[in-house]
Amino acid sequence: MALTGIQIAKLERALDKQYKALLEEVRDALEKSENQQYIELIDRVPADLADQATGDALADLNLAIIDRHVREMRDIEASSARMADGGYGSCVDCGADIGYERLLAYPTAKRCISCQRQHEKTYAHSGNPTL
């Protein structure tokens, strides 16, 4: 069953709210990208290897969080584009309707449950290095 105008409006508000929250978090993280903890550790004289490693780990963690937020923002932008072109709420793989409950829980969903399960089975290990 296709989404109603009221449902789409509710989902659009949720996406907008989520986008603004992520944008604020990214801004805050970038402002703090001076990595105060890293600077404090490095400014110690002499800085030992453990301090440097901890500082590097904190910097990497900060960048990973920013990267995750930016990916989520791109997903929201893609969902907004699908709303504009009328494709929102339709599975990108099979074309079936994505349930309203699923979209409420995960507004950027682009696949129905069935196709998402198949996608996860198919690509579950892609990008994960193995020994």
- Domain containing 83 equals 5-122
CATH number, residue 110: 1.20.120.910
46 preceded by a cis bond (ω within 30 of 0):
yes
Does pLDDT of 110 surpass 70? yes
Coil, strand or helix: which one is 125? coil
**Burial of 36 by CB count in 10 Å (0-12 exposed, 13-18 middle, 19+ buried)?**
exposed
Residue position matching structure tokens 């793989």: 93
Confirm whether 127 is domain-assigned: no
Separation CA 112–CA 103 (nearest Å): 10
Domain count, the chain: 1
Does pLDDT of 23 surpass 70? yes
* Backbone dihedral region for residue 51 (phi beyond 0: left; psi -120 to 50: alpha; all else: beta): alpha
Confirm whether 80 is domain-assigned: yes
Mean pLDDT of 51-63: 63
Confirm whether 129 is domain-assigned: no
- In DSSP notation, 56-100 reads HHHHHHHHHHHHHHHHHHHHHHHHHHHHHHT-TTB-TTT-PBPPH
Task: Give the pLDDT band (50/70/90) at residue 41.
Answer: very low
Single-letter residue type at 1: M
Confirm whether 47 is domain-assigned: yes
Confirm whether 77 is domain-assigned: yes
Confirm whether 130 is domain-assigned: no
Confirm whether 103 is domain-assigned: yes
| Amino acid 124: pLDDT | 76
Confirm whether 131 is domain-assigned: no
Mean pLDDT of 6-16: 95
Per-residue b or e along 65-75, where b marks 16 or more CB atoms closer than 10 Å to that residue's CB: ebeebeebbeb
